[in-house]
A and B are shown apart, each in its own frame.
Chain A
Amino acid sequence: MYIELHCRSAFSFLEGASLPENLVATCANLNMPAMALLDRDGVYGSPRFHMAAKKARIKAHIGAEVTCESFPSQGHRVTETTNQKLKTSSVSLRLGGEFRIPLLVSSRIGYQNLCRLITKMKLRSAKSEGAVREEELREHSAGLICLTGSDDGPLALALAHGGQEAARNCIQRLISIFGHENVYVELQRHFHREQEDRNRAFIEIARSLQLPLLATNGVCYATPQEREVCDVFTAIRHHRTLATGGRLLARNSERHLKSPQEMQALFADLPEAIANTVELSSRLAFTFKDLGYEFPKYPVPEGETMMSFMRERTREGFQERYGRSSSELQNRARDQIERELQLIEKLDLAGYFLIVWDLVRYCRKENILVQGRGSAANSAVCYSLGITAVDPVRMELLFERFLSDERGEWPDIDLDLPSGDQRERVIQYLYKRYGEHGAAMTANVITYRSRMASREMGRALGFDPETLDKVSAAVSTWEYRDDNDTFDHRLRDAGLDLNHPRLRKYFELCVAVQDLPRHLGQHSGGMVICQGQLDSIVPLEPASMPGRVVVQWDKEDCADLGIIKVDLLGLGMMAVLEDSLKLIQDHHQEEVDLAHLPPDDPTVYSTLQKADTIGMFQIESRAQMACLPRLQPKCFYDIVVQVAIIRPGPIVGQMVNPYLQRRMGREPVNHLHPSLEPVLKRTLGVPLFQEQLLRIAMVAANFTGGEAEELRRAMGFKRSQARMRDIEAKLRSGMERNGIAREAQEQIILSITSFALYGFPESHAASFALIAYASAYLKCHYLAAFTAAMLNNQPMGFYRPATLVKDAQRHGLKVLPIDVTKSEWQCTLEHSAISTQHSASSNTGTISLRLGLRYARGLREEAAQSLVRQRKLAPFISIRDLIHRVPALRKDELNTLAEIGALNEIGCRDAAGYLSTKLHRRDALWQVERAVRHSGPLLDELPEPDANSPLRPMNQEERLVADFRGTGMTVGPHPMAYHRTRMEAMGIHKASELEHIPDGQYLRIGGCVICRQRPGTAKGFVFLSIEDETGVANAIVTPDLFQKNRLLLSSAQFLMVEGILQNQDNVISLKAERVLPLSITRAETSSHDFY
């Protein structure tokens, strides 16, 4: 028997080539009962290793290879005896530079020590650097077992730098740190002469000091084939190519998992080295079951328990939320809350709820918009505590989706916060409250995906930068992939011939590294909190953002190990809402309270019914727009349905059409089975929400709440066939017992299996619908403020700023260009005397939107802020004056400002400061070039004879090109507007005309492509949104047509599309039969493409 006790996974980041799961699987195939994972300076892969090992019934030993600083030559803290020995030695200890000690965890204390050791090292050094010191090793040595390592281990380095004597001293030092019984002399055999030579020296030293020998294989990958990936990683790590990697690359492919028989044969002369692996494995008692994690306790006043305190807060919240409701609802809510409180008490989760409550309270106090979402919205307690905004009792949401007695896992509360600074304030509040080592962000493991893989593999193989660019551009794929869309086709499209052996190898490597970890990032919002020291649970690292600490595990790992996390998610739309409210207050002098918006605003619903939803949260996409006119939302619940219906679940499960048909009365409502009527009634017999599926399982097959939730998880991403079969059998037997007909059973099972993974929880949809309604309300009534807030929070949403601006202009908003005499960094509102003609609402009549300097491409914020500061002191009297007073502005920034017309208003002013003449853009460019160039003392003083330049003003096309190049948009007419006469001559219809043209007519549309989509659920169809000056038209391209015109459809800015008009229930689109490029402008417009 042999147990591999020294193994790196790909979580050693570029030093290992196999995922922990693959290592475990190989280990199981080799009939090894246990295995140890020792990643470099961390336990990054340990949770996945632990979970995989648990499944494979293999004992997972935890450890790490820890980088250490070279031991000082005379350790003054060495124990007396060892010191004596060292003194007698005439050769001082010389170890060269840093080395790595493999440490195995034997107990929980050992694990805690390992975590603290790594945390100490990480938190004081830059990313991927750092080394522990000898005194730290001494302080945290308890519960750890030390191996002597391989080439980069302490013993090998001591031997190389100081010979036998130094090696002996080194090992004595290790004994003094870890104890004689906790040091094993490690032997590896990779068929190297030098290694074998070293092994002899090791054996001699071990025998003389009576230390046990331990055979390991220093594994870096599961199978020999993966050595290639490991070599590539080595090259990447050293910034070399494979060809220049030389002896940094591996000598052979022997660092793979070997079977006990192979290892026994290798160490036939040293059977004790093999036997010791089993003996040592039996000493390693620690597993992740024994992690010792505790959620922090919430401090409560004297005489209160957390539960009693929470009950009181819930009661207060109940009064506020349900105080004015009907007694029937009050009773139901009271019962529900009581049920939930009992469960919370039973699961001892009061602390968790109180901490989240405290966080929400902090946000309210600081005027930060906050809203709980996800499954927490199913909880009446969360609603009462103010964590969520949707009433789960009124909406009859399923509490078990959030929390159940049977599931044995922690609840998940996600808080939506405005993205940016506000969210950062909340995060910092958590850090401050729970201490630096008490709270941390969860990690986000960055793994190799197509683009990164293609780039890095290409670099390792020595491709030139131009080819690399080409290759990585080629692999950005559409979401849908047809038969022609395989990786090799894409490479061929990029001009690479896969018949060439090197490119073939490149292709193989790209495939092999997919999903392997590359480095550690930080999750956008997940935070873990711990009672006491989090650094004894998992090592902490500094995040790249100052003041943040990140744990070594991602959120799934944390969830798997039972660590509670709070997701503080930055939602762009929350920031838009918050900013809009401020702008409304400043410019309309109105206080809008999002919690008390008019619930059934007719303007909002009529706008939604017309699918006029650009910019609105979650209902603005092309697919949403294609559904809205058919769904015709009339109340809030319709928006909830609308948010949930355009999701892969309902689309794949073919639920969309039946629902819409039933809604329009074209199909009878059928509930699968009479017993399911209460569950499916609200959605006309069509299951649309995850909760409904869980309820179906509960009603039809007598599942308990927990079992139903288990069903949802079984359908999750890591679907197991066996688990699915078990559940299906259980469902069938339940339904059989309830007398459900076989046909209905099939239908139920089909809907459950196709739906459970991608379906949207109703609670989540309801939370999103609230935000969607708020965004629609603000857009309808406060267009200027809403648009300004949208533009100030880019990038977000489905459309580019250019589209948002054009949409707002079509709705009557006047958008003013960037002007250094008026613009701030952000977009602002200005009161103008002229009211617009097509004003959708009276509120926008006199308010215009001024584009902010942030939209001048390449202009740095600090330079722009400096400009604004100077302007506030005194207006700029000339461009020279601007350049003189704002030295932070670079020449390229000034050129951009001049080119987009932002300097036109500076012009020439008379003595009183009044504008006398206005510059054109080229005048400004002419002056900028003069002002930024020092032409020497002779010419510098020469006054400019004339403010006007000899250059001709930009024509319309040039202005358009400059606008798009400098700001990505134009506030002037749409490019298509300049060519309308020509377009009409070509028989091209305006987007606004389409609604008046009967279904089935063959016609042409044309315009700027603002969005291209090839959704995974659309079987290769491509959807184009084509914008002209009157609106947006949609075109549907068949896979065949796409294949024929791939390049044109993927890259052309302006297109003319011919085809048959489809107008079904006011959903208008053109079924394309021919596409042609349209020559409109050289301006570089851009589209939002969804790959």
Chain B
Amino acid sequence: MPFACIFVPDFSVEALLRAEPELRSQSLAVLEGKAPLQKVFAVNENARRVGVSPGMSKVQIEACAEVALRPRSLPQEAAAHAALLDCAQSFSPRVEDADCDTIVLDLGGLQPLFGPLPKIAQALSRRASDLGLETSVAVADNPDTAVLAARGFSGVTVIAEGKEAEQLGSLPVEVLFGNAAAESTQLLEVFSRWGIRKLRELASLPDVALSQRLGQAGIHFQKLARGAISRTLVPFETPSVFQEVIELEYPLVLLEPLAFLLGRLLERLCARLQAHALATQELRLDLELQNGWQTEDLSTNNNGETGVPARPAQKQSRFQRTLRLPVPLLDSRIFLELLQLDLKAHPPGAPIIKIHLAAEPARPRTAQSGLFLPPMPEPEKLELTLARIAGIVGEDKVGSLELLDTHRPEGFRMQHFAPEPFSPQRHRDAEQTTTKKSKDCSVPEPAPSAAEGCLCGDDLVTALRIFRPSVNVAVTMQDGQPLHITCPRNKEMQGAILWTAGPWRSSGDWWEHEGWARDEWDIAVQGENGIALYRLVRDRLNGKWILEGTYD
């Protein structure tokens, strides 16, 4: 049964050239890594000729004016890969996704449809070229021979049945390893020591002797080199897409009728998912807007991060929202409520003419809580509640705090609130600790800090209420200490300073762009309503004064 392999040499480069075909005649280097430490990841033949090679740094090749530099684009690579799959699938239903740059397809039964094998191979190459990818295509009687030939020979190659060993013989042994060169270093070293450079040389080694030396791996590679290996193709399964669309006869301008339509779409989607025993963890809403309206492209996720707005220069008539859930769910009512809340916070801003709704399938949750454990909130309800709160206070203001190891004031970040899943072992450990503590109550806990150590016995806790946003003030100084504060916005917060403690000085992150340095004072101010205690802060980098909070 014949197989074909489509291989894209310098895949990262080709992926970029699809978008910018005019670069094909130039030297191109693809960069990877973050600035300023970018390095060359891949190059095209022209660049290779002028001496650019992977691993060089950006600055090293910047001197060569003729080399075009582009950052590596994973989305474009994914698109190129998808295009490659499309190309293969347009010929054969049985396609193997062998690697990002390698696709194998079963050509069995295709000859009556597309003609003889060389013609199919040519057609594959042309089709790939039409998709913007320069490829090598090889046809052979087994998938692996086709892969080796595609990697080793450029253009279109057809390996005749029974001639595999002969035709592959001239290829270097490196083609056996493809992108997995790192794991194959040891074997390549052995081959190099033995003087085995071509597949022909590997193929001619005695089997038993080779097996005694390199084991089954050696035999496997030798069979590959002889083109005498057969295996079953591992067909690529197209992931099911659960998507529903409604085209509207007249534009929608209100959220209520939209919610009605969304509800219907969601019900359909959930029914389809249920039929496959699946749930979803990601819902993508894509609204087509009436022409001429400005658009927005935002997504929310469980980290409370907001997506990047679309470039304003490009006018699109689409509005997209993505809802990511902490656990896979399948409840159309909950989904609807979540979408409603999200749309309330982020209205489309233009009349809607078409609604696409897609659900990313996921396996449903299988966790079961302990019998005697206090019930955790239902994830669906919890998510809904969190979404409601986020709708009121803003997405970046809901979640659980994670303290950062820094001297920087307010050194924390928000994490999406998600209760930890139940673990019986952890539960037992927690129980044991509690029991031990209750039994060993005679041992006092060590004081956590020096400050508390000094204050032991004193139960007074002074709380600081932070002003959000902080209050800008003007301060009069005397002998390095604040004497008087003025707050034009809030008369209650101004007056003579009766007492100060400080400055408490801190600074840090000096190696970053966003270094900081500040002085803090704890002050007592004689205001109109009596004496109040505040925390007064001066930013030592820009000289600004703020009242950061008040002490209870």
Among the listed A470, A922, A933, which residue makes an inter-chain contact with B194, where contact means beta carbons less than 8 Å apart? A922
Q: Cβ of B447 and Cβ of A161 under 8 Å apart?
A: yes
Q: Cβ of B37 and Cβ of A463 under 8 Å apart?
A: yes
Q: Cβ of B454 and Cβ of A495 under 8 Å apart?
A: no
B503 contact set on A, CB distance < 8 A? 191
B517 contact set on A, CB distance < 8 A? 252
8 A Cβ contacts from B205-229 to A: 205-206, 208-209, 211-215
Q: Cβ of B407 and Cβ of A495 under 8 Å apart?
A: no
B213 contact set on A, CB distance < 8 A? 926, 929-930, 933
User: Is A995 an interface residue when CB atoms closer than 8 A count as contact?
Assistant: no
B214 contact set on A, CB distance < 8 A? 929
Among the listed A191, A198, A496, which residue makes an inter-chain contact with B450, where contact means beta carbons less than 8 Å apart? A198
User: From A94, which residue of chain B is reached at the shortest CB distance?
Assistant: B446
Q: Cβ of B453 and Cβ of A160 under 8 Å apart?
A: yes
8 A Cβ contacts from A216-244 to B: 228, 231, 242, 244
Q: Cβ of B195 and Cβ of A950 under 8 Å apart?
A: no
Give chain A nearest CB distance to B13 CB in angstroms.
20
User: Is A246 an interface residue when CB atoms closer than 8 A count as contact?
Assistant: yes
**Alpha-carbon gap, A476 to B519, bound state (A):** 43
Q: Cβ of A935 and Cβ of B36 under 8 Å apart?
A: no
**Alpha-carbon gap, A228 to B510, bound state (A):** 8
**Alpha-carbon gap, A958 to B192, bound state (A):** 10
Give chain B nearest CB distance to A903 CB in angstroms.
13
A461 contact set on B, CB distance < 8 A? 511
**Alpha-carbon gap, A191 to B518, bound state (A):** 11
Give chain B nearest CB distance to A228 CB in angstroms.
6
User: From B36, which residue of chain A is reached at the shortest CB distance?
Assistant: A500
**Alpha-carbon gap, A942 to B57, bound state (A):** 53
User: Is B405 an interface residue when CB atoms closer than 8 A count as contact?
Assistant: yes
Give chain B nearest CB distance to A470 CB in angstroms.
7
User: Is B250 an interface residue when CB atoms closer than 8 A count as contact?
Assistant: no
Give chain A nearest CB distance to B323 CB in angstroms.
33
Among the listed B58, B211, B511, which residue makes an inter-chain contact with A502, where contact means beta carbons less than 8 Å apart? B511
User: From B540, which residue of chain A is reached at the shortest CB distance?
Assistant: A252
Q: Cβ of A198 and Cβ of B454 under 8 Å apart?
A: yes
A interface footprint on B189-209 (CB within 8 Å = 1, 0 otherwise): 010011110000000111011
Closest 10 CB pairs of A and B: A495-B57, A246-B405, A191-B505, A500-B36, A929-B213, A160-B450, A495-B59, A495-B60, A497-B36, A252-B505
User: Is B385 an interface residue when CB atoms closer than 8 A count as contact?
Assistant: no
User: From A253, which residue of chain B is reached at the shortest CB distance?
Assistant: B507
User: Is B478 an interface residue when CB atoms closer than 8 A count as contact?
Assistant: no
**Alpha-carbon gap, A253 to B407, bound state (A):** 13
User: Is B406 an interface residue when CB atoms closer than 8 A count as contact?
Assistant: yes
Give chain B nearest CB distance to A171 CB in angstroms.
15
Could you jot down 12 A-B contacts, CB within 8 Å? Answer: A164-B453, A197-B451, A200-B454, A246-B405, A246-B406, A247-B406, A249-B508, A501-B513, A503-B36, A505-B511, A939-B212, A950-B209
User: Is A492 an interface residue when CB atoms closer than 8 A count as contact?
Assistant: yes
**Alpha-carbon gap, A747 to B138, bound state (A):** 83
- Residue numbers of A with Cβ under 8 A of B are 156, 159-164, 190-194, 196-198, 200-201, 228, 231, 242, 244, 246-247, 249, 251-254, 265, 461, 463-464, 466-467, 470, 492-497, 500-503, 505, 895, 899, 922, 925-926, 929-930, 933, 935, 939, 942, 950-952, 954, 958
B451 contact set on A, CB distance < 8 A? 193-194, 197-198
**Alpha-carbon gap, A496 to B449, bound state (A):** 44
User: From B35, which residue of chain A is reached at the shortest CB distance?
Assistant: A500
Q: Cβ of A492 and Cβ of B59 under 8 Å apart?
A: yes
**Alpha-carbon gap, A864 to B405, bound state (A):** 52
Q: Cβ of A247 and Cβ of B450 under 8 Å apart?
A: no
Given contact pairs A500-B36, A950-B206, A163 touches B454 in the complex (Cβ within 8 A): yes
A950 contact set on B, CB distance < 8 A? 204-206, 209
A159 contact set on B, CB distance < 8 A? 450, 453-454
B446 contact set on A, CB distance < 8 A? 161
Q: Cβ of A926 and Cβ of B194 under 8 Å apart?
A: yes
Q: Per DSSP, are chain B's interface residues mostly helix, strand or loop, or mixed?
A: mixed
A497 contact set on B, CB distance < 8 A? 36, 58-59
Q: Cβ of A164 and Cβ of B204 under 8 Å apart?
A: no
Give chain B nearest CB distance to A225 CB in angstroms.
10
**Alpha-carbon gap, A500 to B508, bound state (A):** 19
Give chain A nearest CB distance to B35 CB in angstroms.
7
**Alpha-carbon gap, A908 to B193, bound state (A):** 21
A493 contact set on B, CB distance < 8 A? 60
User: Is B504 an interface residue when CB atoms closer than 8 A count as contact?
Assistant: yes
User: Is B456 an interface residue when CB atoms closer than 8 A count as contact?
Assistant: yes
B506 contact set on A, CB distance < 8 A? 191, 251-252
**Alpha-carbon gap, A196 to B215, bound state (A):** 71
A interface footprint on B376-412 (CB within 8 Å = 1, 0 otherwise): 0000000000000000000000000000111100000
User: Is B188 an interface residue when CB atoms closer than 8 A count as contact?
Assistant: no
A470 contact set on B, CB distance < 8 A? 57
User: Is B261 an interface residue when CB atoms closer than 8 A count as contact?
Assistant: no
User: From A156, which residue of chain B is reached at the shortest CB distance?
Assistant: B450
User: Is B56 an interface residue when CB atoms closer than 8 A count as contact?
Assistant: yes
**Alpha-carbon gap, A497 to B34, bound state (A):** 12
**Alpha-carbon gap, A958 to B194, bound state (A):** 10
Q: Cβ of B407 and Cβ of A160 under 8 Å apart?
A: no
5 new A-B contacts at CB < 8 Å, known A194-B451, A503-B36, A899-B193: A244-B405, A253-B507, A935-B212, A951-B195, A954-B195
8 A Cβ contacts from B489-536 to A: 501-508, 510-513, 517, 519
Q: Cβ of A496 and Cβ of B57 under 8 Å apart?
A: yes
A197 contact set on B, CB distance < 8 A? 450-451, 454-455
Given contact pairs A163-B453, A497-B59, A464 touches B504 in the complex (Cβ within 8 A): no
A252 contact set on B, CB distance < 8 A? 505-507, 517
Among the listed B35, B194, B454, which residue makes an inter-chain contact with A164, where contact means beta carbons less than 8 Å apart? B454
B39 contact set on A, CB distance < 8 A? 466, 495
Give chain B nearest CB distance to A15 CB in angstroms.
19
Given contact pairs A191-B502, A463-B37, A160 touches B212 in the complex (Cβ within 8 A): no
Give chain A nearest CB distance to B407 CB in angstroms.
5
B454 contact set on A, CB distance < 8 A? 159, 163-164, 197-198, 200-201
User: From A265, which residue of chain B is reached at the shortest CB distance?
Assistant: B480
**Alpha-carbon gap, A909 to B549, bound state (A):** 93
> Most chain-A CB neighbours within 10 Å: which of B209, B506, B512?
B209
A467 contact set on B, CB distance < 8 A? 37
Q: Cβ of B406 and Cβ of A942 under 8 Å apart?
A: no
A interface footprint on B471-489 (CB within 8 Å = 1, 0 otherwise): 0000000001000000000
Give chain A nearest CB distance to B517 CB in angstroms.
8
Give chain A nearest CB distance to B522 CB in angstroms.
8
**Alpha-carbon gap, A231 to B507, bound state (A):** 12
Q: Cβ of B456 and Cβ of A163 under 8 Å apart?
A: yes
A495 contact set on B, CB distance < 8 A? 39, 56-60
User: From B407, which residue of chain A is reached at the shortest CB distance?
Assistant: A251
**Alpha-carbon gap, A1064 to B447, bound state (A):** 84
**Alpha-carbon gap, A952 to B193, bound state (A):** 11
B502 contact set on A, CB distance < 8 A? 191
User: From A935, which residue of chain B is reached at the shortest CB distance?
Assistant: B212
Q: Cβ of A247 and Cβ of B407 under 8 Å apart?
A: yes
User: From A896, which residue of chain B is reached at the shortest CB distance?
Assistant: B193
**Alpha-carbon gap, A252 to B520, bound state (A):** 13
A196 contact set on B, CB distance < 8 A? 501
A939 contact set on B, CB distance < 8 A? 208, 211-212
Give chain A nearest CB distance to B199 CB in angstroms.
15
Give chain A nearest CB distance to B152 CB in angstroms.
22
8 A Cβ contacts from B350-393 to A: none
**Alpha-carbon gap, A160 to B404, bound state (A):** 23
A161 contact set on B, CB distance < 8 A? 446-447, 453
**Alpha-carbon gap, A952 to B195, bound state (A):** 7
User: From A899, which residue of chain B is reached at the shortest CB distance?
Assistant: B193
A164 contact set on B, CB distance < 8 A? 453-454, 456
B36 contact set on A, CB distance < 8 A? 496-497, 500, 502-503
A895 contact set on B, CB distance < 8 A? 193
**Alpha-carbon gap, A613 to B454, bound state (A):** 77
User: From B190, which residue of chain A is reached at the shortest CB distance?
Assistant: A929
